[in-house]
Structure 1
Amino acid sequence: MSESLDFTVAIPTYNGGSRLPEILERLRNQLYTENISWEIIVVDNKSTDNTAEVVKTFQAAWQCPYPLKYCFEEKQGAAYARKRAIAEARGKWIGFLDDDNYPVANWVSVAYAFGQKHPNTGAYGSQIHPEWEVEPPTNFQRLAPFLAITERGDLPLLYAPQNKLLPPSAGLVIRRQAWLDSMPNEMILTGRVSNNTLTGEDLEMLSYIQKSGWEIWYNPEMEIYHRIPSWRLQKEYLIPFFRGIGLSRYVTRMVNIEPAIRPLALFIYTLNDLRKISFHLLIYGLNVKYSLVLACEMQLFMSSFISPFYLWSHGYLTPKTKT
């Protein structure tokens, strides 16, 4: 095993050749890292564009004391890319940035400092600001957190398990030991791919870490900007996106619930989903057809309601046989 480092920045990417140069430039110009031993790893999640060539070009001109590495993950899905990053990383802390996340100049230094100050934390998320390519629809702030927009004030916040709220994976820092202590060999949710819209793999991962007794925090000093192109605000993207979130919810809801009481929990969640659907229709009526925000919310409620039935029927909840 090679010598460990203080920190690893991991960038999982799929067809990110056009987006990677800006984030790599941001990382090349990080400030106040002189006393931190760290590295950058780009995890190519089976891209079909020029991602590998872009990274090689940067590597050829790389003159920073911290290395820029590249690895290829054959299995598509964010969970597989993250797992590969953990395996490749030498850092005690692994900070994940998506290829459309642009960290401020001190992101690495304040990320590492926060971990040092909080010995019981297993993971902590960034403050994430949106960079909209076009102005979002009216009332879109109701949906913004689902697009990894996380602006929860300027003070650190501990995510209490009973609040059922966790940070997104964009800008998330994970303690390597917490991952090793908490994660099963295989997760149920693996991330969106071309023939599968299920998401929620980040919440499943964090739920395991929280269940193991590690604290999870929001650190507002770690600021990143999330660039959101216009196509991510279109109905053709958003409706399947919220359907995938909803369909995955049985998994993320049940991770921290003991198996013996899951039937009761399922009953309560099902009633609550029906309540949300009924109230949404009662309050907004036919407006659901004409408002993108209302349609997305209804899709989320409906998909959450059918989530356990969908997952069972598609084999997600059956035990995986070992090979």
Structure 2
Amino acid sequence: MAPSLADPRPDGVTLAVCTHNGATRLGPTLARIAAQADLEKGNPPGTGIHFELLVVDNASTDGTAETVKALWPAALADRLTIIREGAPGVAHARLRALREARFRFISFIDDDNWISPNWVREVHAIFADNPKVALLHCPSTAHLPGPEPADFPTYSSWLAIGSLVQEEGIVTRRPVSFWTAGLSVRLAALAFLDDPRFAFALSGRTGARTLGGEDHELCLCTLLGGWEAVFTHKIQFVHDIPMRRLEPDYLADLVENGGRSRRVLSEYRAAFAPDRFPTGLRLLAICVRDFAYRGAAYWLKRAVGRLPSAAAPSALSYRHARGRLVGYFETAARVPVARRNIAIARRFHAPDAG
């Protein structure tokens, strides 16, 4: 039986790679993780930082586990754990990683993320020096298969590229949330996940179907307990972007699917700032207004031939607005789940948080 997230775990950092059919992507990712190994030696000897690589094979059919074993250095075999999660979907894989992590701090590294060589040392230092910090994030840059597309800055954040926060250190604004790619977490802060009534309202990627936002849901629930978040530029990761993710139709679907989660995420954000994040009929009115305005602009540009592609800014704006409106009705049954989660998360306080 997996331990409770509130149970003490040894000091160190678990680097969790959740992957579905990632055999062809994992080589550079594993090489960057293996390069952290010298941190365990310490200077002077005995002062190093322990880490492990935890690979969650999420229902892969391409020999992902065998590929990891072949690529991972034999000298670091005791630092590698591979587990298989049969339930498809990144949310299931990440929950499994949280349960199986050996150490008290965990970093989620996607199978196409290349982390900086100082990752483990900085992550460990920030958590160790700040006992109320539960979440840690950092900037990312893109490794593209060719020249940067002209409209790339308008949609790069949808590909987990860039900085969600500009300042260095404790992030004071609320609400705040991050992508799971590159997110580091203090496991003890996730004790609310042990409550049998808690169930994520958003499912993340499940094959070709996506209801995104589960990463933001996790962050917002964590911070409801009074924990703190840090954004640091001392570490970063490179996100390897294949050509298919730059295709206009892929981007348009990604943006629309992201909009579908707005109603649920608005419930969480309103728990911090109800005046700034409307819910219910107020949110519906905003969704209808935005869809009408952005839809009119989109169809007008399309009619006069001024819409170069499905990834043009006005096209993506329209698709996002459409996703928000469709999602308002589609996710109605998930709203009570989110409200229950809010009540649960508020019961699990950070140290000295009340």
TM-score range, shorter chain: 0.7 to 0.9
1:255 maps to which residue? 268
Contact 2:202/2:212, CA 8 A, preserved across alignment: yes
Correspondence 1:114 to 2:126: yes
Of 309, 320, 328 in structure 2, the residue corresponding to residue 300 of structure 1 is 320
Of 99, 104, 123 in structure 1, the residue corresponding to residue 135 of structure 2 is 123
How many residues end up aligned between the 2 structures? Answer: 313
Contact 1:38/1:66, CA 8 A, preserved across alignment: no
Q: Mapping of 1:37-76 within 5 angstroms? A: 37-58=50-71, 61-64=73-76, 67-76=79-88
Contact 1:10/1:42, CA 8 A, preserved across alignment: yes
Aligned letter for 1:12? C
Contact 2:112/2:240, CA 8 A, preserved across alignment: yes
Correspondence 1:267 to 2:281: yes
User: Shift of the alpha carbon at 1:318?
Assistant: 6.8
* Structure 1 unaligned regions, length at least 5: none
2 CA distance for matches of 1:158 and 1:278?
Answer: 35
Correspondence 1:82 to 2:102: no
User: Shift of the alpha carbon at 1:140?
Assistant: 2.5
Secondary structure, counterpart of 1:222 in structure 2: coil
Contact 1:183/1:205, CA 8 A, preserved across alignment: no
Secondary structure, counterpart of 1:242 in structure 2: helix
Contact 2:199/2:337, CA 8 A, preserved across alignment: no
2 CA distance for matches of 1:73 and 1:109?
Answer: 29
Contact 1:15/1:50, CA 8 A, preserved across alignment: yes
Of 93, 96, 99 in structure 1, the residue corresponding to residue 105 of structure 2 is 93
Contact 1:154/1:221, CA 8 A, preserved across alignment: no
Say if 1:153 and 1:112 are closer, same or farther in 2 by CA, change over 3 A.
same
1 CA distance for matches of 2:251 and 2:146?
Answer: 15
Contact 1:78/1:201, CA 8 A, preserved across alignment: no
Contact 2:29/2:114, CA 8 A, preserved across alignment: yes
Aligned letter for 2:280? L
Task: Please identify, of 172-181 and 194-203, the stretch whose mean Cα deviation from structure 2 is larger.
Answer: 194-203
1 CA distance for matches of 2:155 and 2:52?
Answer: 34
Secondary structure, counterpart of 2:229 in structure 1: strand
2 CA distance for matches of 1:139 and 1:234?
Answer: 12
Identity in percent: 27
Secondary structure, counterpart of 1:5 in structure 2: coil
Correspondence 1:290 to 2:308: yes
Contact 1:86/1:176, CA 8 A, preserved across alignment: yes
The CA RMSD over aligned residues, in Å, is 2.7
2:180 maps to which residue? 169
Aligned letter for 2:97? A
Contact 1:62/1:68, CA 8 A, preserved across alignment: no
Correspondence 1:178 to 2:226: no
